[in-house]
Every structure is written in structure tokens, then in C-alpha cells.
Amino acid sequence: MTYRNFTVETDADGIALVTWDMPDRSMNVFTEEAMRELDSIVDRVTGDTAIKGAVITSGKDTFSGGADITMLQKMLSIFAEEKASDPQKATQKLFETAGYMTGLFRKLETCGKPWVSAINGTCMGGAFELSLACHARVAADSDKVKMALPEVKIGIFPGAGGTQRVPRLTDQQQALQMLTTGQTLTPKKAKSMGLITEIAEPAKLVETAKGLIKNGLSAVQPWDQKGFKLPGGPIYSAAGANLWPPAIAILRRETYGNYPAAAAILKCVYEGLLVPFDTALRIEQRYFTQIMQSREAAAMIRSLFISLQELNKGARRPEGVPETKFRKIGVIGAGFMGAGIAYVTAKAGIPVVLIDRDQAGAEKGKAHSESLMDGAIRKGRATQADKEKLLSLITPSADYADLNGCDLVVEAVFEDSGVKKAATEQAEAVLKPAAVFASNTSTIPITSLAKNSARPKNFVGIHFFSPVDKMMLVEIILGKKTGDKALAVAIDYVRAIRKTPIVVNDTRGFFVNRCVLRYMAEAYKMLIEGVPAPMIENAAKAAGMPVGPLSLNDETAIDLAQKIMKQTIRDLGEKAVDPRQMELVDTMVDKHGRLGRKNGKGFYDYPEKPARKHLWAGLKDLYPQQDADKIDFEELKQRFLFVIALEAARVMEEKIVTDPREADVGSILAFGFAPYTGGVLSYIDGIGVAKFVKIAKKLQKKYGAEFKAPKLLLEMADKGETFYERFNPYAGAEAKKAA
């Protein structure tokens, strides 16, 4: 029998080699077709007396990325349609559909013949659950081999036996850590946990796997054998009593109850380990069905998996423009930002010229890359050879003539129009006509900077976030005259350095900074109201933000906030900035010299290690303090999320951002907007636009104009629209398909 996604070859020893190699896909994934074929293969192995056992491996460089997420989307869309007419029947069907993979893997592990998974690369999600269902697992000894059950990161959890097999192979503490964080494991780590059986040389991977079967590998899983005992002891034991209460408290501390899937993992493991294995699988299936119906799962799957993948693949790239293969990139300005851009460029294997005012400055910029590589080597994430290779790609220089031959130049000089003008003119004097010039500016409109260019069609904004090596988002800003080629080159570059591009039209602060400034301004307002600073920070984190607004302001620098506010007043007039907030920032900077983390004192104090940072005690003396017991903590949380979401809605209304995927993904990647919501616009859609507007009006009446809903939202509320309906990112593709 032939299969589309697998091949089966049985050797002279009676061992079947099942090779997973899906045509027309760069990575194997579980589709309905692939699962049906695997089901048939299990039957074939079981029924053929000549087959003693089976090894499953991949014919590609990686093992598998797990389940095809569009399959989950299809499940949810069918459920949504059927729920309207018969909710109980729809839920039962979802339960049964969700359990198909569980049943398949259980069938494999109880078929009476041993299976071994030979893992030759990335093995994620459902693919690792398949491997765990095998009677042994062999991983290639390679840096390319990574194993994980990362589903919690997109709002669901490993629901094909993962929550039951992992804590039966390793101790419960390590199991919970892995499952609730989506932790990625190396072969060495996985073996130390008992999750894989052997580590083999890549060339001997299949041979080693077959050897386990030849040597009498049992076809019965440990948990199916009489007398099986859990690693680390049972739930009701001294070890269990020391683990579970703290585990529940730690999860609450880390998630604030915002992630139902993480809580469901604890329930699955706890309840599942108290009952026989087949009953445990049903418990897992029940919780998985419940989580699949949650708003958080739908939003996170869409934004953090589907939309993120689409943007990373160039969803916003203009059609008909040939892809750029970068031979040489220029970076002007070797300060912290420019040095970081040079580093990520070289890390992507692209030669880069790093220009600064003098050679010493350029050399210092290159030294930043050396420092980052030294850190990676200390952590075991890079080798000395990796470091030498990367540094060989960076050429420090003070001569603009060295930019000759660059496909793209990124200017990252001081945030001053005059300095940027000089850099643009000097670079364009030596660049080939087809080269693209990009400015990494965070405040100055691209259209005004493009006036310095002799070829504004080839001028674009590429806005990085600090630190460049860690931040995954890049804003690409279009000036009024930016052409399709410049946009395409910018997107190609951002993809080449393995970051996520979003496309933004020109405006003050672009998209991200407009939202972030609202977040910090609301914290200023709360301080002025007399809300205790710890409540402000805790409310923001409880709302789902990774960093409190005062801490974030310290990182970006309070004196920078002061400069931005003063420049805004100069450009837009006194009414553009709340005078009380201006006074607060002036007091912090001018009176108390508190600039932020950079000088060791801001809203926080930063003592020498090992002491930890703590809020500055003087904050409570700046304004009369309210009684904390009388402050509505839930309202504080709401204010933070609403003020950001309202600004995002204004950005959509002004057509600064035109694709809701970019607003959602950008808000999460750039400043960590409550990931469980799916992003700023999904947050509004999830609440319901009409209800959101109603709450916003109450907040406006109580706290001011920043909560005023824009006309766009009022109109959407009247029409019962969502952002993904009104600004359907797939409308063009659907129209073409219909035609």
C-alpha cells in the first residue's frame, strides 16, 4: 500500500521504517490526511506477523512542527456554526474530534508491537506527543534537535496525552515546569528528565532506534504494567504535599489567572495521576474541549500563531517585486541601537558595514557584537567559531565610501533632524541608484526625513526596538512617497534577520510608541490621583502586562519622556500635554535628578547587586495618598488596557495601521500587551465593540478625554461589527478566489 505522506520499508530483521515526508511542505505537520494514513500504518504493523516493530522518523531536516493549526481552526469554526442550533451536540462533537489524535496515539502504544521515534530535528507539540506514545525515543546528537510541548503559548495545551505521559516519565515538578511554560528541551535535557531513551550520532539515528527493538524493547508502556509507580512519588505523599500547594500559588503569581490553559494543565496532571491511564486521557480530553471553547484560545491561536506566521512570511509584501538577496548592508551610527542592528544583520549571515564619526566609535560598535557573542558562548548557545564568523562579517569604518555596493542602508544616528540629513546626503552620494535608504527613527516623521533624499521613493522607515537582539518586532514606516520596491526590500530585510515586520503609515510616534506613551501617561495620572505606586505596577501586571508602566518608563528613561513631551508642546501647543503630567516629569528629572535605570534612580531605585530594584520611597510624598482599601483595583487594570486599546482604535481610524493582524501582533511583540487577549484589537472584539464603548464612556466621564471612543468605534458598535470583519485582512484573497 502506498501513502501520500509516509513511506514504509521493512528490513530483513522485520523492522518497519516509517518515514514521514509530506510533499509540498517544508515541515511535516499533522493534518487529517496524515493522521488517517498513520492510523492505517499502525493497523498494518499490528496485523503483519512479519513485522516485529516499527521506527518512525522524518525524511526532512526536522521531525515535525506538530498539528496543523488550521485543523484546529476548522474544528472551532464548525463548533461555532453548530453551537448556534444545538450547543450540547456541538460540544460533544468537539470532544470527539479533539480526541481523535489521543485515540490514535493510544492505539499505537497498545498495538502489541514496539515503536521507536527517531527524532532528527525540531519535534514540537503533537509530534512530541506521538514520540512520547512510542515505547522508546532516540534523538540525534545535534544542536538542531529541539523538543517541546509549546501549546500553552497559544492559549491551549498538549491534549493528545502530553499532560499524562510527561508526568509518568519524569517527576511532577519538572513536568509542570515544562508543560506550563512550553519549555524547549535539548536532547541532553530531555534524556536527564527521562523523556527520551537514547542520544545517537545523527548518522546512526535510525540504526540506534532499530537496535532498541532488536534488543527486546518492551511493547508495553511503563504505565500499563502492573505495579507502575510514578517518578518522584504519588500525588498523596510528602513530596506531593510539598509540590502542589506551591505550584498552584506560583502559577497564580505568574499568570494572575489570565491563562485558562495553564490552569487546566495543573488540573489535568493532578486529576490524571490519581486514576488509571485511560481515564486520565478522558480527563485531559474533557479539559482540552473546554479550553478550545475559550475566548483566550481563539484569540491567541489567531494572533500568536496564524497571524504571526502570515506576517513572518511577508503577508504585507507588495506583489510583483523580485525578492532581494542581500549581499551587503550598511548601518550608519555605531551607538547602542546601530551596533545592535549590525549584530542581528551579521547573525543572519549578511556582510555589514558599520559607519560612525570616527574609527574608534565604529570599532566600539563592533565590540558590542563581540560582547553579545561572549555572553552566548558562556551560556552554551554559541561557539568560538560562531563568534569569529559573525565578527568577520562586520566591517567598522568612518568612511561613507565603504557603503558603496550596499543593497540597503539603515541610518541609526542621534535623533536629530540635522544629523540625519547629513547622514542621508553622505550615504546617497555613494549608493547605487537602486539601493534603499532606511531611517531608524522613533519620533521624527519619515515624510519629513525623506525630503533630505534625492530619491524619496527609495526612502523608508525601519524602526527597531531596544535591545535589538532581543526584540522581535520591527515597524516599517511608509512616507508619502515611499515606493513598493522600498517596502519590499524593507520587509525582505526584516524577514532575513528573523524578526516580524508590521507596516505602518507615517505619523508622530507611529503605532507602538503612541500606545506605549498612553500606557505610561495613565500611570502618571494615577500617581497624581494619589494611587500608591505599588498598586499601579501590580494592577498593570495583573491586567497581563509583562512590565509595570513605571518600570517601563525607567527602562526607556524619564528624561527621554520629558524631551518627547516638550517637543510635543513645541509642535502641537500647550494643550497637547497634560500640565500636571509635565510637572510630575519635570519634578522627577529636574528636582530629584531621577532619570531612570541609566543613572540608577527613577521611579525605582537600583542598588548594586545582589540587592533587587525597589520603588522609590519618595513617590508617596509627591502627592497625597489615597486609602488603598478604597481604590477599585479591577478598575485600575481596566484603565490600562482600555487606554491602550482606544489609542489603537484611533490608529486604525486614521489609517496609520490598516491590517488588524499587525495591530494585534505588534502590540504583543513590542510591549507585551496582555497576550491572553490576542492583542489590542482582539481585546475590543473579545469584549464586544458595543460593550467596550459603553465601558469607555463610563471611564471617560470619570477620568477624562483619553477614554473617549473614536467615531470608528461608535459606528462599529451601531453596526455590530468587529475589527476583523470591518478590516478583513483576507478580503483581497477571498475576492480573487471568488473570481
Q: pLDDT, tens digit, for every residue of 344-390? A: 999 999 999 999 999 999 999 999 999 999 999 998 889 999 999 99
Residue 737: pLDDT band (50, 70, 90) is: low
Q: Does 733 score more than 70 pLDDT?
A: no
Q: Does 524 score more than 70 pLDDT?
A: yes
**pLDDT computed for residue 339 by the predictor:** 96
Q: Does 738 score more than 70 pLDDT?
A: no
DSSP annotation of 64 reads B
Top pLDDT among 489 and 444 is at 489
**pLDDT computed for residue 172 by the predictor:** 95
For residues 7 and 56, is the Cβ–Cβ distance under 8 A?
A: no
672 φ, ψ to 5°?
Answer: 70, 35
For residues 521 and 494, is the Cβ–Cβ distance under 8 A?
A: no
DSSP annotation of 236 reads S
Structural fold of domain 513-726: N-(1-d-carboxylethyl)-l-norvaline Dehydrogenase; domain 2 (1.10.1040)
Residue 734: pLDDT band (50, 70, 90) is: low
* Dist. CA 28–CA 30, nearest whole Å: 7
- Specify whether 463 is catalytic: yes
* Dist. CA 65–CA 129, nearest whole Å: 11
* Dist. CA 470–CA 340, nearest whole Å: 10
| 412 C-beta neighbours (distance < 10 Å), count | 29
In this prediction, residues 109-129 reach a mean pLDDT of 97
Same fold? 6-293, 513-726: no
Residue 642: pLDDT band (50, 70, 90) is: very high
| 193 C-beta neighbours (distance < 10 Å), count | 18
* Dist. CA 76–CA 244, nearest whole Å: 33
Give CA torsion, residues 431, 437, 442, 446, to 10 deg: 120
In this prediction, residues 112-129 reach a mean pLDDT of 96
> Of these residues, 135, 463, 592, 614, which one is catalytic?
463
Q: Does 649 score more than 60 pLDDT?
A: yes
**pLDDT computed for residue 567 by the predictor:** 82
Is it true that domain 329-508 has CATH number 3.40.50.10420?
A: no
Residue 81: pLDDT band (50, 70, 90) is: confident
* Dist. CA 55–CA 200, nearest whole Å: 14
Q: Which range has the worst mean pLDDT, 224-228, 463-467, 492-496, 699-703?
A: 463-467
Instruction: Identify the burial level of 471 via C-beta atoms within 10 angstroms of its C-beta, where 0-12 means exposed, 13-18 middle and 19 or more buried.
Output: middle
- The answer to whether the Cα torsion of 221, 224, 230, 235 is positive or negative is positive
Residues near 469 by beta carbon (within 8 Å), at least 6 away in sequence: 340, 343, 344, 347, 372
pTM of the complete model: 0.91
Residue 147: pLDDT band (50, 70, 90) is: very high
Residue 322: pLDDT band (50, 70, 90) is: very high
Give CA torsion, residues 192, 194, 197, 201, to 10 deg: -20
C-alpha 226: how far from chain center = 43
* Dist. CA 55–CA 7, nearest whole Å: 12
**pLDDT computed for residue 410 by the predictor:** 97
For residues 119 and 148, is the Cβ–Cβ distance under 8 A?
A: no
Top pLDDT among 69 and 343 is at 343
CATH of 6-293, one of 3.30.70.20, 3.90.226.10, 3.20.20.210, 3.30.565.10: 3.90.226.10
In this prediction, residues 221-239 reach a mean pLDDT of 94
**pLDDT computed for residue 736 by the predictor:** 56
Residues near 505 by beta carbon (within 8 Å), at least 6 away in sequence: 477, 478, 655, 656, 657, 658
Q: Does 648 score more than 80 pLDDT?
A: yes
Q: Where are the domains of the chain?
A: 6-293, 329-508, 513-726
**pLDDT computed for residue 732 by the predictor:** 66
Question: What is the pLDDT of the chain when averaged over all its residues?
Answer: 94
Give exposure, 103-141, as e/b (b: 16+ Cβ within 10 Å).
ebbbebbebebbbbbbbbbbbbbbbbbbbbbbbbbbbbe
* Dist. CA 269–CA 163, nearest whole Å: 6
What is the per-residue pLDDT across 383-434, written as a single tens digit (0 to 9) for each? 999 999 999 999 999 999 999 999 999 999 987 888 899 999 999 999 999 9
Residue 1: pLDDT band (50, 70, 90) is: confident
Top pLDDT among 74 and 678 is at 678
Residue 735: pLDDT band (50, 70, 90) is: low
What is the per-residue pLDDT across 555-604, written as a single tens digit (0 to 9) for each? 989 998 998 898 889 888 988 899 999 999 999 999 999 999 989 999 99
In this prediction, residues 451-456 reach a mean pLDDT of 94
Closest CA to 464 of 416, 505, 499: 499
Q: Does 650 score more than 90 pLDDT?
A: yes
Closest CA to 410 of 364, 463, 363, 446: 463
* Dist. CA 484–CA 323, nearest whole Å: 12
Residue 236: pLDDT band (50, 70, 90) is: very high
In this prediction, residues 119-130 reach a mean pLDDT of 96
Report the largest interatomic distance among the alpha carbons of the chain, rounded to a whole angstrom: 86
Closest CA to 520 of 706, 704, 346: 706
Q: Which range has the worst mean pLDDT, 166-175, 238-247, 436-445, 495-504?
A: 436-445
